[in-house]
Structure 1
Amino acid sequence: MRTPRTAAGTFSAVLLATTALGIAAPAAHATPVTGSSSTASAAGTSSAPSFRFVDIPGAEGITLKGNVFTPSGDDGYERHPAVVLPSSWGLNDLEYLAQAQKLADSGYVVVSYTARGFYLSGGRIDVAGPLDVADISKVIDWTLANTPADPERIGMAGVSYGAGLTLMGAAHDPRVKAVAALSGWADLTESIYGGRTQHLQSSLLLGAAGYLTGRPSAEFQQVLTDFLASNYDQEDELIAWGKVRSPATYLDRINANGTAVMLANAWGDTIFPPNQLASFYDRLSVPKRLEFRPGDHATPEITGLFGLPNDVWSDTRRWLDHHLKGEDNGIDGEQPVRLASRSGGAYEGYDSWSGVPSATRKLSLDSTRRITANVDSGADGGIIFLSSLADQLARTPPIVSVPLLPRAFAAVWKSPRYETSQQVRGTPVLHTTVTPSAARGTFIAYLYDVNALGIGKLVTHAPYTFTDRTPGNPFGVDLQLYSTAYDLPAGHRLAVVVDTVDPLYIEHNPAFSGLTLSSPAADPSWLSVPLRRPSLP
């Protein structure tokens, strides 16, 4: 028998259903059997799409909980394009009610399902592993057998975990013709372990949500334990585990399938940073679209989950309409890379990601800086969700007083003041020489926008961890900072700051250790700044 939804699931059901749709949530304790359902009008009228809860057979005999919207007026003979919506991490199949109804209103069959291991779906959390991939094909099989879906017009879309599953579906099931991955990942290892540094706040959040709303597999529990314990002896195993779960691993399959791929993420996504997605986009040879906006993980599209106007979801529907329904809505004629600056202004269009910066200039990081490790200088990447959300809503990123940063714990370099605005677009890169006092350590590089009073607003940053180095021996570092779009006002300057502690990350600096950052004459240190216009001297 279908047991009642958990408290979190019930809350999401009521919130989404009553706020976004104005419908009563169907009884969470209904008792559908495989292929059958309890059916209700989505808005209480015969002209609205029909809605039903369903049980869908998953891989290895488990049951996936789901729901289906069917277009109104379906006569049982006409075939409709279909969209499969896998749930986000920690959420269930009720997540997409508002957008599912909008899609059904325009003629789609829409099947949403709760990923295995979460809430009432069977099995254990596989983190987009082989069992999740098998479930995707099972859901498509069920959709074709139990709804008026057209087998030639199958699409997928999803947010966060659902976005990752969507891209895995594009790679592993050639029936998927078009996808929209919102706030997802292409390289899972690079997302949570970029710079060989464990992303602490995001991994704790994901782990806690997994335990609270689902049943982690034994494999996932072990990986999470090793990850949080900074067990570098298991690094190869972690990378292999992540590779299996990364759509980038299967790029050739996506290209061979010809699936049309739309990617949309936030500049400040603290779970799945933008760099790994942009690299994946560049290597796609299928119809493709890339969108970046201000915000953090899933914050650009969250209002759309409540049925409110939302650019991300509007573009998602246009993308699916063009590639699944053949609508000539103009989206294929637009420049495929669409960016919104964190500083405001209209959307910017580009022909490619590599073509976003029109110039790159280098800031010289001359002279030697020595810093003591294990002390937070005050330069930080912020707090997961809160800091980038503040940047999205109020254009207020993490702020620091650059003159007051203690030079014993932070290395600082400043540029001259710029007479004109500098439009930073793309991926800044740090090149420097590091001499450690210990075999392992961590540092974080920051780029700040500094005004006349010395107040610095964070433009971007990235962590870097090294192991097995010889104390006292210098080594070179090339570190990509997180991609961004930021407008430096006229009269401001840029500042590069390096320190060794950030609450976002696990650091690996032994007690009483330190770092020396130098700029040898034969290999000078610099930070490259990608610009929309060649405005830096």
Structure 2
Amino acid sequence: MRRLAVVLSLLLMSLVLAVPASAGPSTTGFHWNDITAGDGVQLKSNVIEPATPGTHPGVVLVASWALNDFQYLAQAKQLAEAGYVVLSYTARGFWLSGGTIDVAGPRDVADASSAVDWLIAHTSVDPHRIGIVGMSYGGGISLLAAAHDPRLRAVGSLSGWSDMGASMTGGDTRRPQAAWFLQTAARLVGRPSPQMNQILDDYWADRDAEGRDRWARERSARYSVDALNRSNPAVLIAHSFGDSIFPANQMLDFYTALRTPKRLELAPGDHATVEISGLAGIPNHVWTSVRRWLDQYLAGIDTGIGDEPGVVLRPHNSSAAEYYPDWSHVTGHDDRLRLGAPHGLIATGDLGPQPQGTWTRRIQAGTDTIAGGGVALLTNGLEQLTGIPPIVSLPAVSRRHAGVWLSGAAPAGGWRVRGVPRLHAPLASTHPAGTVIAYLYDVNALGIGKLFSHAPVTWHGSPATVDLPLQVTAYDLPSGHRLALVVDTKDPLYLDANAKDATITFSSDAWLDVPIA
């Protein structure tokens, strides 16, 4: 695999060098360098500087998982032409950088500081005006690095994470498609460490959860938020509602806990799909915000972004941006819709504000239905491009293997759903472990539903009640449409704990809290 990584890296370099290396008369052009990490590992990097005299603000760009320092060439060129010294580096264990993959562990955090050291020692950077930006893996490392290195005064975390544990097993449910993608990419162009291999072996075998939690905690910026607040860098977080690698909910509490200059942007899409066009130099709103953020907090240019409201939402199927002063102002109130007894030829329960009486509903576990969250990276990414989310025919959802509840028609003006929907459901199971997945659909008059939020939850031991936060969303449900809740037990996105012959029984005193702006 290392030989393949070398060949691919050389091919990429040849493509870059096929274009004149100079980035223009205002910059030095790109130079390729080795950074020596604290433990002697060599990290591959490139740097580009303004050609003008004097010191300049600087930016460290951390490559994404399985990508290398060529990833940011277009953005680095634009930043250098705007007066920044820009250093991009390939994380250890990937491509031609040395060492093994540390998965954002202490060595990766130290490597970011080594990049800052190199920048100060070898370029015209102003050591008091340095920031760090990264997508995905680079976004997570950027947050961790800023918590440990007070020289980093601005952060751009794009599709990163704050809680590695929640990313791996949110709702106590493992995510096989995401894990397989990351593992396969690492083996193709990287060198997994023995520790990484052991963690993944335990993950697939569902063993040593405590050991995995300790490993994940060390790699989670949520546990370093006090350090971030003390060093007080300006933190920009951009994320997608449908991120299937690092689900977005983890960023909400993290953002709220920050006491630094901060901004949170959420938009439709999947992992890194919103900002990816910026890697080709194509303007998009995420990289525009990054540039304005760096200009404001590093270059000393008043872009106005520091005075804008701190939360920006772009609703599904809309190009409009909504601004809120903080996360607590996103949801005006919760509409509590109570689940009622399924009835009719195609058993469907009512979902409404009034008490629904006493009832039970039993489903057979372990069989998938046509309700589903789609395919990791692909489904929500396509929604971003086409505006078409996963679609289901509600009457065709198996009532033997799923519970289905349907609200009344939305009033004039519809429902502006903003925030985190939450399901409260008393459950009983014939098996001591199990999983349910809840889906929210916007259903039209023909019974066709568009998915706009979902989440899984797994229990071990007899469950009494499930309290399940679904994915954060910003969705306008049109007037006359209905809200549907579907709960089943299997989805290819998740590894469930259901036994094939188990049954799960829902009962009264269950409700769905819908956040309304």
**TM-score bucket of the superposed structures, by smaller chain:** over 0.9
Q: d(CA) in 2 for partners of 1:338 and 1:468?
A: 40
Q: d(CA) in 1 for partners of 2:204 and 2:108?
A: 24
Q: d(CA) in 1 for partners of 2:10 and 2:376?
A: 26
Q: Does 1:485 align with 2:459?
A: no
Equivalent residues in 2 for 1:71-470, closer than 5 Å: 71-73=50-52, 75=53, 78-231=54-207, 234-367=208-341, 368-420=360-412, 421-469=414-462
| Unaligned residue ranges in structure 2 (runs of 5+) | 342-359
Amino acid at match of 1:364: R
Q: Could you say what secondary structure the match of 1:415 adopts?
A: strand
Q: d(CA) in 1 for partners of 2:116 and 2:27?
A: 24
Equivalent residues in 2 for 1:60-79, closer than 5 Å: 60-73=39-52, 75=53, 78-79=54-55
Q: Deviations over 1:483-511 (max 9, x none)?
A: 01111111100011110100001111112
For 2:18, the equivalent position in structure 1 comes to 24
In angstroms, what is the RMSD of aligned CA positions? 1.6
Q: Could you say what secondary structure the match of 2:39 adopts?
A: helix
Amino acid at match of 1:370: R
Pick aligned residue for 2:485 from 477, 481, 496: 496
- State percent identity of aligned pairs: 49
Amino acid at match of 1:380: G
Q: Could you say what secondary structure the match of 1:107 adopts?
A: coil
Q: d(CA) in 2 for partners of 1:163 and 1:236?
A: 26
Q: d(CA) in 1 for partners of 2:442 and 2:26?
A: 54
Superposition deviation, residue 444 in structure 1: 0.4
Q: Could you say what secondary structure the match of 2:440 adopts?
A: strand
Superposition deviation, residue 14 in structure 1: 6.2
For 1:31, the equivalent position in structure 2 comes to none
Q: d(CA) in 2 for partners of 1:422 and 1:375?
A: 32
Q: Does 1:41 align with 2:26?
A: no
Residues 13, 279 of structure 1: CA spacing in aligned structure 2 closer, same or farther, 3 A cutoff?
Answer: farther
Q: Deviations over 1:68-94 (max 9, x none)?
A: 011123x4xx11111001100010000
Residues 235, 380 of structure 1: CA spacing in aligned structure 2 closer, same or farther, 3 A cutoff?
Answer: same
Q: What TM-score results when the alignment is normalised by the length of structure 2? A: 0.94
Residues 204, 159 of structure 1: CA spacing in aligned structure 2 closer, same or farther, 3 A cutoff?
Answer: same
Q: Is the 1:423–1:531 Cα contact (8 Å) retained in structure 2?
A: yes
Residues 200, 507 of structure 1: CA spacing in aligned structure 2 closer, same or farther, 3 A cutoff?
Answer: same
For 2:347, the equivalent position in structure 1 comes to none
Superposition deviation, residue 12 in structure 1: 5.0
Q: d(CA) in 1 for partners of 2:129 and 2:176?
A: 41
Q: Does 1:52 align with 2:31?
A: yes
Superposition deviation, residue 315 in structure 1: 0.6
Q: Deviations over 1:434-476 (max 9, x none)?
A: 101101111101111111011111010001011133xxxx501
For 1:512, the equivalent position in structure 2 comes to 501
Amino acid at match of 1:67: N
Q: d(CA) in 2 for partners of 1:118 and 1:345?
A: 36
Amino acid at match of 1:391: E
**Number of residue-to-residue matches in the alignment:** 497
Q: Is the 1:49–1:105 Cα contact (8 Å) retained in structure 2?
A: no
Superposition deviation, residue 48 in structure 1: 3.5
Q: Is the 1:13–1:95 Cα contact (8 Å) retained in structure 2?
A: no
Q: Is the 2:4–2:189 Cα contact (8 Å) retained in structure 1?
A: no
Q: Is the 2:44–2:97 Cα contact (8 Å) retained in structure 1?
A: yes
Amino acid at match of 1:395: G
Q: Could you say what secondary structure the match of 2:107 adopts?
A: helix
Residues 7, 448 of structure 1: CA spacing in aligned structure 2 closer, same or farther, 3 A cutoff?
Answer: farther
Q: d(CA) in 2 for partners of 1:24 and 1:288?
A: 40
Q: What TM-score results when the alignment is normalised by the length of structure 1? A: 0.90
Superposition deviation, residue 10 in structure 1: 4.7
Q: Is the 2:27–2:48 Cα contact (8 Å) retained in structure 1?
A: no
Q: d(CA) in 2 for partners of 1:150 and 1:418?
A: 56
Superposition deviation, residue 155 in structure 1: 0.2
Q: Is the 2:309–2:324 Cα contact (8 Å) retained in structure 1?
A: yes
Residues 153, 430 of structure 1: CA spacing in aligned structure 2 closer, same or farther, 3 A cutoff?
Answer: same
Q: d(CA) in 1 for partners of 2:313 and 2:11?
A: 34
Superposition deviation, residue 394 in structure 1: 1.5
For 2:514, the equivalent position in structure 1 comes to 529
Superposition deviation, residue 41 in structure 1: 2.0
Q: Could you say what secondary structure the match of 1:322 adopts?
A: helix
Q: Deviations over 1:151-171 (max 9, x none)?
A: 100100010000001001110
Q: Could you say what secondary structure the match of 2:109 adopts?
A: helix
Q: Could you say what secondary structure the match of 1:268 adopts?
A: coil
Superposition deviation, residue 149 in structure 1: 1.0
Q: Deviations over 1:34-61 (max 9, x none)?
A: xxxxxx522xx54344210000001311
Q: Could you say what secondary structure the match of 1:434 adopts?
A: strand
Q: d(CA) in 2 for partners of 1:53 and 1:380?
A: 46
Residues 345, 106 of structure 1: CA spacing in aligned structure 2 closer, same or farther, 3 A cutoff?
Answer: closer
Q: Is the 1:378–1:400 Cα contact (8 Å) retained in structure 2?
A: yes
Residues 92, 25 of structure 1: CA spacing in aligned structure 2 closer, same or farther, 3 A cutoff?
Answer: farther
Q: d(CA) in 2 for partners of 1:168 and 1:386?
A: 28
Superposition deviation, residue 222 in structure 1: 0.7
Q: d(CA) in 2 for partners of 1:135 and 1:531?
A: 44
Q: d(CA) in 1 for partners of 2:261 and 2:49?
A: 28
